[in-house]
Structure 1
Amino acid sequence: MTDASFDLQRDAFGRLVLTTAGGARHAGVTPVRAFPIAAPDEGLSLVSAEGREIAWAEHLSDLPAPARALIEEELASREFMPEIQRIVEVSGFICPSTWRVLTDRGPADLRLKGEDDIRRLSRTRLLIADSHGIHFLVRDVGALDRRSKKLLDRFL
């Protein structure tokens, strides 16, 4: 289905409702990013409540502004991945350890169970899972301050 061949709105219950160009109505639609970390604005699927893809958009920016706003709002309510900007303190260099970090959403403490909780996504990008299942993103290790890089190197 092409990007412009549907209408997207919210119903009285707050669910996304997609109406196709042919008039088929799908309530409870969920937007799913194809590449949520590597390319969050590329490849977006709109999936029915039954788990079937109803619509696909190559780029989020290709969608009309009202539909794009609804999708971004829905994704923001479901996706929570703070981005680490600085590592302030680490309780110890053996796991488990507690990290005090500064994120794009404010200060946070995370508990690292083991070095396996740090996953390298690319040469510069890391995903850190804390003991509560929250994922923290380090978008660019090289952009971290010197102290943060030094603390992080002890775990890599």
Structure 2
Amino acid sequence: MTTSSFDLIRNPFGRLTLTSADGQVFENVSPVRAFPIQAPDHGIAMVCADGQEVAWIDGLQDLPATVRALVEEELGGREFMPEIARIVDVTSYATPCTWSVITDRGETHFVLRGEEDIRRIGPDTLLVSDTHGIHFLIRNMFELDKHSKKILDRFL
């Protein structure tokens, strides 16, 4: 099913309901990004609670404004991946240690269990996981300030 062949509404319980072009109704659907970091606005599957894909969205820009707003709102509520803009300090260069960082969502502190919790997901992109399973994104490690790069180099 393509992007133009369905309608999407939020039911009285706050869940998304998708109606296909042929009239099939799918309750409690959720958007799932195929490539959340490299192409967040392209390749989004609409899936039922059992994981069955019922619609595919090539690009968010292709959706009508009301449907796009619902999809973006749902994704925003489900996904939480702050981007690290600056590493302020670390308590130790041995793990576990506490990192103090500034993200696109404000200043925070988290515990890094080990160096294996810093993963490369591209030539310049890193994903840092804390002890609670929250993922922090460093979109381009080469664009960090000198102090942040120096700290990061100790862990890579």
TM over 0.5: yes
- The superposition leaves residues 110-141 of structure 1 with CA deviations (integer Å, 9 ceiling, x where unpaired) of 10110000000111100000011110000011
Which residue pairs with 1:54 in the alignment? 54
Which residue pairs with 2:83 in the alignment? 83
TM-score when normalising by structure 2: 0.98
Q: Report how far residue 142 of structure 1 moved.
A: 1.3
Matches of residues 18-37 of structure 1 in structure 2 within 5 Å? 18-37=18-37
Stretches of 4+ aligned residues off by more than 6 angstroms: none
CA RMSD of aligned residues (A): 0.7
TM-score when normalising by structure 1: 0.98
Which residue pairs with 2:113 in the alignment? 113
- The superposition leaves residues 41-90 of structure 1 with CA deviations (integer Å, 9 ceiling, x where unpaired) of 11000001221111001111111111110000000001000100000001
Structure 1: runs of 5 or more not aligned: none
Which residue pairs with 1:146 in the alignment? 146
Which residue pairs with 1:126 in the alignment? 126
Return the alpha-carbon distance in structure 2 between the equivalents of residues 86 and 49 of structure 1: 38
Return the alpha-carbon distance in structure 1 between the equivalents of residues 3 and 93 of structure 2: 49
Q: Report how far residue 143 of structure 1 moved.
A: 1.3
Structure 2: runs of 5 or more not aligned: none
Q: Please give the secondary structure, in 1, of the residue aligned with 2:58.
A: strand
Identity of aligned residues (%): 58
Return the alpha-carbon distance in structure 2 between the equivalents of residues 2 and 93 of structure 1: 50
Between 1:70-79 and 1:41-50, the stretch displaced more is 41-50
Return the alpha-carbon distance in structure 2 between the equivalents of residues 123 and 22 of structure 1: 44
Return the alpha-carbon distance in structure 2 between the equivalents of residues 112 and 49 of structure 1: 33
Q: How many residues align?
A: 156
Return the alpha-carbon distance in structure 1 between the equivalents of residues 153 and 39 of structure 2: 26
Return the alpha-carbon distance in structure 1 between the equivalents of residues 25 and 56 of structure 2: 16
Q: Please give the secondary structure, in 1, of the residue aligned with 2:17.
A: strand
Return the alpha-carbon distance in structure 1 between the equivalents of residues 125 and 37 of structure 2: 9
